[in-house]
Structure 1
Amino acid sequence: MTAATLEQLPWFAEHFEWFLAHKPRYASHVAHSATTGDHHRHLLSIVDPDRLRRVLEVMLDEEEFLSPHGLRALAASHREHPFTLHLDGITASVDYEPGESTTAIFGGNSNWRGPVWFPVNYLLIESLHRFGEYLGDDFTVECPTRSGTLMSLHQVADDLTRRLVSIFLDDKDGRRPVFGDAERFQSDPLLHNLVPFHEYFHGDTAKGLGASHQTGWTGLVADLVARRCADGVPCIDASADQAAPAAAATRPSTSSGAPTPSTTTTIPASS
């Protein structure tokens, strides 16, 4: 938040100042301020910059949460090392399941223990941009972890956007990850450009899973594509996605003006 933002929210600003003055024990953990030149900014977050760096170290690890097509709902390391709880003679465990659920106990085929889900990824991209506005481009992290490549938080958000959009684009072999092993959709020119918005996506391959008409949240990809277009990145150019992430950091827009997608959208195959 900037001073200009607080001026537009007098009720919030009053309570914010009261909180800082009367609850220093808690404020020190969630309220942070920074001044750059003439600009004074405030950050309200339970994660301070040091903790954020530690969180991102795991989140951006390709052996943990970071997949080629977005962030997994559960770290891939739990594939070999499940979390197990022993309580009152009962043993319960959670392991990494990248595809549809292997048990009906959590609601049939829905699975939050490994796949890529758009709502969480979208919110994380938004949060990274917010942190980037506060911390600036001098705050960098390795992305992916142990790659030696340093990125600002805006660049990390852009890289996650690139990975999510790539779910629906042709790869170097002319195959769309969303179709997985559905050969008819991969090879039939009449079907290949009819792209559905699945409920969630395989944590390793990005194959579309669950309901194939989840436009409510997977349709958020339209906003991500629109932002890329606004930043000068070819909207549906797969070659741009296969190249290294752009070096220039981008800034989020509060409203993209992207159209609401239909259940099935036609996306031309990239050349």
Structure 2
Amino acid sequence: MPVHRYRSEDEDSARWAGFPFRDGDIVISTRSKSGTTWMQMICALLVLGTPDLPAPLTALSPWLDWSVEPRDVVFGRLAAQSHRRFIKTHTPLDGVPLDPRVHYVVVARHPLDLAVSLYHQAGNLDRARLAELTGQPAPSGPPRARPPVERWLSSWVDQEVDPRAELDSLPGVMLHLSDAWARRHEPNVELVHYDDLLTDLAGQMRRLADRWSLPRPGPELVDAATFGRMRERADRLAPDTLGVLRDRQAFFRRGGSGQGRDLLDEAGLARYRARAAALAPPDLLTWLHR
């Protein structure tokens, strides 16, 4: 099947073309604010077998299609790694080369919770630094006032956009998850629910270790993957090697579940349910919303 190309101001999935995979590589494919860094940390702990990581998480698990860092630099860093590699992407699986030797893991989070985290993440980005890195014009004038999160979330639910052009929209989130859901029975594709990481982190880590033929983690490794422990180590774990975050610790803002649903009234929740039903299959929504 042809690989779809996804592009934004700072991402280009075409950078995957020609990437030399190795047997056992792990590709972490998530939507923004759906547990990407959490899954990268889980992979690091399972692969390396120690909570004392030998390098920052962003060096151990590069974001391959992030265009602010030269492609050859990222390829070179991955080529130099002797351990089993685990690579970050926000590209849906239909935009990544699918290799039978490689494992693909997709983390799904309730879209309303994801959206609230996106809202807060946007306020933590240094837009001038991001523009500098991507070659875009620097923002001018005072920053625009943002609407309250409740109003923003309601408009996010109602937004009509091209899902392939706006992957962090509700249609884009559902496109990413629907594509992964359709592949869930493939032997090298694994879906993980964010809420399962919250409620049974040890069980989920053992399940992934078994799927990937890695040693099962002990209590020390599970503890290192908890949200609180990761927040304590934000300087080494936050995805910010180039200074695009105003506050690295704020990147691990809350990590809970249910915050999005609490911000909408009954009418807003009804609109969300109707939109979701039009964008994704019922069995996916049953799993996603449980």
Q: Normalising by structure 1, report the TM-score.
A: 0.30
Indicate the structure with greater strand content: 1
Q: Normalising by structure 2, report the TM-score.
A: 0.29
Higher RCO (CA < 8 A, seq sep 6+): 2
